[in-house]
């Protein structure tokens, strides 16, 4: 059994890491929660007993066997490598983007590239949108050989953490109560209630946002594709709570067959095919929320391109997009 540490356990992702550890079978011996001066001393009720939040220090984190970092990238950059340094350091699974693009550091979706974590001490957990989309794309890539991908996303407020979820709920309430015509915004670039915002994270020189480029960079690394493999994304924030949705057009080397694609998706671990339009059954944030599996549906041959499939994916971005993926990485490493 393992001594597990979490830094940032009171945030939106951290809470879900605790939840996944409670519900799944990772052999936890003891759980330690590390936080800032502000949260140190608070008590958190868990299946493993009442845990008092300890003030974070690298030395204390090094006493664990596995450490999950659910904090911002600057914190990870400063501390992650020191925590796991040396043969006796713990395994660190980092949820930020600080190490995702560094050579030699695995970027892992376990159902796709678990083997990359062998013998490694620091593992990067992917961007939520990328992890969710690739769960559906990977089985199709294995069948038909991906050559290009275009993605449009519809991303939930939780991508900006608990403050983002709160801003959506409170802003919606203030409009419905007639207090305001348009909600206030601090977290998002514009008011999110009754709106969609085609802008997540910073704009880059090429006109894409960082969130969009993460999908490009991370798809290449996770799937072992070339450094110039063509992936394009438009990432949009919408007023949903915590499941991201994605419309994906995937082009392939081989002719595509929808029945074979359906079978591959049905058999893929972590994927639920929800695709019966006659019964109005397709992926939606409402049905994907709180689920470990991502949903795939609206699967069809794309009529604009040869050898192309088009489909819709929904996944809980706090689970497969973050906490669950991190916990499955840990599980896969002890298998």
What are the residue numbers of the active site? 128, 244
How far apart (Å, rounded) are the C-alpha atoms in residues 84 and 73?
A: 16
Does 222 bind ligand HSE (CB under 6 A)? Our answer is no
The minimum distance between CB 200 and ligand HSE, in angstroms, equals 5
The minimum distance between CB 79 and ligand HSE, in angstroms, equals 20
Task: Considering the complex, state which of residue 54 and residue 72 has its C-beta at the smaller distance from ligand HSE.
Answer: 72
The number of beta carbons lying within 10 Å of the beta carbon of residue 181 is 8
How far apart (Å, rounded) are the C-alpha atoms in residues 317 and 333?
A: 22
Task: Considering the complex, state which of residue 33 and residue 323 has its C-beta at the smaller distance from ligand HSE.
Answer: 323
The residue at minimum Cβ distance from ligand HSE is 159
Does 289 bind ligand HSE (CB under 6 A)? Our answer is no
Q: Which of 155, 216, 245, 289 binds ligand HSE (CB under 6 A)?
A: 155
Does 143 bind ligand HSE (CB under 6 A)? Our answer is no
The number of beta carbons lying within 10 Å of the beta carbon of residue 305 is 16
The minimum distance between CB 75 and ligand HSE, in angstroms, equals 15
Considering only residues 181-200, where is the footprint of ligand HSE by CB under 6 A? 200
SS3 153: strand
**Of 61-69, 111-119, 155-163, 288-296: span binding ligand HSE (CB under 6 A):** 155-163
**Tokens 């971005």, residue?**
317
The rounded Cα 36 to chain-centroid distance in angstroms is 24
What number of chain residues touch ligand HSE (CB under 6 A)? 7
Does 127 bind ligand HSE (CB under 6 A)? Our answer is yes
Structural contact between residues 35 and 41, judged by C-beta atoms closer than 8 angstroms: no
The number of beta carbons lying within 10 Å of the beta carbon of residue 134 is 25
**Of 2-10, 42-50, 154-162, 187-195: span binding ligand HSE (CB under 6 A):** 154-162
Does 51 bind ligand HSE (CB under 6 A)? Our answer is no
Does 218 bind ligand HSE (CB under 6 A)? Our answer is no
The minimum distance between CB 157 and ligand HSE, in angstroms, equals 8
Task: Considering the complex, state which of residue 252 and residue 312 has its C-beta at the smaller distance from ligand HSE.
Answer: 312
**Tokens 């206030």, residue?**
184
The two tokens of residue 95 are: 């949820």
Strands 146-155 and 243-252, sheet pairing: antiparallel
Does 160 bind ligand HSE (CB under 6 A)? Our answer is yes
**Of 83-91, 153-161, 187-195, 304-312: span binding ligand HSE (CB under 6 A):** 153-161
How far apart (Å, rounded) are the C-alpha atoms in residues 180 and 303?
A: 45
Task: Considering the complex, state which of residue 10 and residue 155 has its C-beta at the smaller distance from ligand HSE.
Answer: 155
Q: Is 20 left (phi over 0), alpha (psi -120 to 50) or beta?
A: alpha
The number of beta carbons lying within 10 Å of the beta carbon of residue 29 is 11
The minimum distance between CB 27 and ligand HSE, in angstroms, equals 28
How far apart (Å, rounded) are the C-alpha atoms in residues 319 and 314?
A: 12
**Cα distances (angstroms) measured from residue 289 to each of 81, 136, 317, 320, 330:** 33, 17, 8, 10, 23
The minimum distance between CB 18 and ligand HSE, in angstroms, equals 18
The minimum distance between CB 329 and ligand HSE, in angstroms, equals 15
How far apart (Å, rounded) are the C-alpha atoms in residues 218 and 225?
A: 10
Binding site for ligand HSE (CB under 6 A): 127-128, 155, 159-160, 200, 211
């Amino acid at each position: 059994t393992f001594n597990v540490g979490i830094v940032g356990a009171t945030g939106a992702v951290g809470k879900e890491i605790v939840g996944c550890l409670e519900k799944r079978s990772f052999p936890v011996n003891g759980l330690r929660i590390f936080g800032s001066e502000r949260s140190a001393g608070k008590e958190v009720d868990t299946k493993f007993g009442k845990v008092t939040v300890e003030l974070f220090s690298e030395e204390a984190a090094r006493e664990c066997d596995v450490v999950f970092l659910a904090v911002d990238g600057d914190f990870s950059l400063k501390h992650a490598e020191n925590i796991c340094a040396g043969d006796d350091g713990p395994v660190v699974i980092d949820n930020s983007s600080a190490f995702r693009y560094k050579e030699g550091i695995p970027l892992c979706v376990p159902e796709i590239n678990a083997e990359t974590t062998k013998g490694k001490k620091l593992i990067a957990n992917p961007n939520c949108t990328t992890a969710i989309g690739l769960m559906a794309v990977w089985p199709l890539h294995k069948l038909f050989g991906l050559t290009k991908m275009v993605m449009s996303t519809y991303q939930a407020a939780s991508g900006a953490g608990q403050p983002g979820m709160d801003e959506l709920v409170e802003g919606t309430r203030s409009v419905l109560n007639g207090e305001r015509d348009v909600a206030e915004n601090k977290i998002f670039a514009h008011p999110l209630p009754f709106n969609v915002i085609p802008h997540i994270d910073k704009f880059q020189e090429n006109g894409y946002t960082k969130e969009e480029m993460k999908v490009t960079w991370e798809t290449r690394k996770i799937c072992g594709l070339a450094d110039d493999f063509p992936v394009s994304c438009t990432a949009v924030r919408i007023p949903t709570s915590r499941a991201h949705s994605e419309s994906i057009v995937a082009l392939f080397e081989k002719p595509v067959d929808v029945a074979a694609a359906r079978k591959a998706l049905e058999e893929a671990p972590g994927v639920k095919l929800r695709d019966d339009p006659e019964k109005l059954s397709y992926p939606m944030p409402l049905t994907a929320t709180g689920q470990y599996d991502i949903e795939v549906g609206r699967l069809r041959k794309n009529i604009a391109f040869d050898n192309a499939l088009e489909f819709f994916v929904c996944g809980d971005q706090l689970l497969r997009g973050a906490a669950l993926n991190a916990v499955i990485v840990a599980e896969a490493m002890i298998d």
